[in-house]
């Protein structure tokens, strides 16, 4: 936690009043705090302690969405020097609304998943010149990007203790289906890569919940639209089983000659990545710890 008095010189640089209080917010891999200022205004402090969560990447991703008019965080200051504070941080504007996940008891909560599908469709209208991570995607072809991602994913899957026999079966499925799925995508698009109710802000409009903002661009990248859609469906199904039909209805036609095969292919890859990442951060304590991720991957492997 940062001391409020340490923020005051930084706020003064931005011609903002001193901090009055701070409130922790959910932030995924980042530490996030709501900072109330003495004039009643609010800013958000995002602390990045891991190299994987770079504030400049978040800011770059958010700026790409300006043409769409989607309410996103405005970055007021980014400092990765560790000179002002002993960690990398960003100060951003505050977006009103509640995280959709906090409205799960709302009678029309399930309707938000159709809106999530529609939002994914809008994000995918932003075309980008190459595939890969921000701020500088470097793969000219989807085949190169997915191959590099999978090589790293399977290597880390093994590194964190996954069963070698399971890994081999999953790799065989990857190779079996690669040519039927991956080369069909020639255009990279904006991919949030973490689109779910925890990263959507909503407001109540009568009896409805409406999206009021999109946050957390730490995973954002340039990828195939169907790959990002698979990630959205995968995460949302985990958080709200049965939500995929509403997401897909909101999204509409999938730009791929074999959409179901593509969704299955990329979902498998997302599960491999998610498993090693959760092992990396300690959310899955040991290789032998049972989880819905490893159960689903075993079910996929049984198809070989």
- What average pLDDT values come out for the chain (304 residues) when binned by 10 residues? 90 97 79 95 88 75 92 92 91 93 94 97 98 96 99 98 98 98 98 96 89 92 99 97 98 98 99 98 96 97 88
Residue 304 confidence (pLDDT): 74
Residue 4 confidence (pLDDT): 92
Residue 168 confidence (pLDDT): 98
pLDDT digits (tens, 9 = 90+) for 173-208: 999 999 999 999 999 999 999 999 999 999 988 889
Residue 52 confidence (pLDDT): 56
Residue 252 confidence (pLDDT): 98
Residue 213 confidence (pLDDT): 95
Which of 243, 287, 274 has its CA nearest to residue 29? 274
CB 123 within 8 A of CB 189: yes
Residue 53 confidence (pLDDT): 56
Residue 160 confidence (pLDDT): 98
Identify the burial level of 4 via C-beta atoms within 10 angstroms of its C-beta, where 0-12 means exposed, 13-18 middle and 19 or more buried.
middle
Domains of the chain: 4-93 (3.30.200.20), 98-301 (3.90.1200.10)
Residue 2 confidence (pLDDT): 80
HSE on the CB side for 72, CA within 13 Å?
A: 20
């Amino acid at each position: 936690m940062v001391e409020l008095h340490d923020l005051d010189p930084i706020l003064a640089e931005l011609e903002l009043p001193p901090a009055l209080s701070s409130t922790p917010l959910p932030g995924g891999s980042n530490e996030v705090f709501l900072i109330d200022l003495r004039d009643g205004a609010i800013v958000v402090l995002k602390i990045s302690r891991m190299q994987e969560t770079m504030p400049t990447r978040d800011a770059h991703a958010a700026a790409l969405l300006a043409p769409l008019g989607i309410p996103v965080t405005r970055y007021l200051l980014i400092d990765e020097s560790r000179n002002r504070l002993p960690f990398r941080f960003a100060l951003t504007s505050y977006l009103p609304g509640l995280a959709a996940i906090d409205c799960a008891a709302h009678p029309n909560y399930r309707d938000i998943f159709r809106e999530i599908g529609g939002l994914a469709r809008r994000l995918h209208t932003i075309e980008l010149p190459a595939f890969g991570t921000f701020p500088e995607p470097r793969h000219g072809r989807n085949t190169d990007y997915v191959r590099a991602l999978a090589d790293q994913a399977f290597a880390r899957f093994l590194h964190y203790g996954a069963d070698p026999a399971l890994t081999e079966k999953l790799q065989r499925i990857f190779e079996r289906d690669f040519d039927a799925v991956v080369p069909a995508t020639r255009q990279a698009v904006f991919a949030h890569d973490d689109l779910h109710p925890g990263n959507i802000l909503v407001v109540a409009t009568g009896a409805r919940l409406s999206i009021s903002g999109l946050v957390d661009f730490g995973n954002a990248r340039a990828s195939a639209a169907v790959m990002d859609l698979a990630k959205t469906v995968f995460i949302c199904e985990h958080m709200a089983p049965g939500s995929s039909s509403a997401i897909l209805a909101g999204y509409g036609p999938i730009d791929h000659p074999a959409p179901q095969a593509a969704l299955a292919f990329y979902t498998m890859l997302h599960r491999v990545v998610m498993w090693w990442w959760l092992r990396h951060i300690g959310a899955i304590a040991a290789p032998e710890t049972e989880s819905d991720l490893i159960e689903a991957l075993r079910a996929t492997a049984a198809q070989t």
